[in-house]
Structure 1
């Protein structure tokens, strides 16, 4: 298991990406699975920082572990606004801004195992499909 606590800010997604790549290498994931893991981790952290608006002194906690059948379990905890991705509609990409596909990718590549809001924090648990 790998756990990292990231300071909220512009470098959080980059640091999360480094952790995801190191985890994938240590777990000997194939190239495609490692790439998908990196995208999912980066998208989740970017969404938390950009859209969740957590206070600047808080941390985003990312936990990565191996699950059954070679799948990866990802858990994210943050103090941003409540957001349950199970209830969110996936929008078409925003061609002007260059974004908008992240949630659709996350839902395509991962199963959402759980979401809860407790004690002012969101907790999202995903499991990769491969």
Structure 2
């Protein structure tokens, strides 16, 4: 771990209600700027958070969304963990060819799958936990 990458690189935020999406994306941006990520890495992190939470809020069956987002920088990567109370959905199971043309054709999930590595997904007791790894310095 380099001197810039320390245990204090971990951050957890909790968002809820109608401002959950905006609050989560704003937190991702603040985290990226605080950790001095490059513009491309900052944009990719924010887009991944936005896409995953947009899908969750639109398709997760949530009447009272409660979402936690964790960021952890280490070894040239950001670990992103999203915990939520939505319907179970493992993005690894999304079939890229099941395009929805009037809604963007699942472009958001394809970005998430190409810009990050989905490390794990689990659902238990009405809670979901998704862990992704975003390599820094990517394009």
Q: Normalising by the residue count of structure 2, what TM-score does the alignment of the two structures yield?
A: 0.84
Q: Normalising by the residue count of structure 1, what TM-score does the alignment of the two structures yield?
A: 0.89
Aligned match for 2:106, one of 88, 94, 100: 100
- Answering whether residue 74 of structure 2 is matched by residue 67 of structure 1, we say yes
Deviating runs (4+, > 3 A) in structure 1? 91-95
Unaligned runs of 5+ in 1: none
Normalized per residue, the structure richer in helix is 2
Unaligned runs of 5+ in 2: 1-9
Counterpart Cα distance in 2 of 1:20 and 1:89: 27
Counterpart Cα distance in 1 of 2:99 and 2:22: 22
**Number of aligned residues:** 127
Correspondence 1:88-127 to 2 at 5 A? 88-91=94-97, 94-98=100-104, 100-127=106-133
Aligned position for 2:6: none
What do you get for the CA RMSD once the two structures are aligned? 1.6
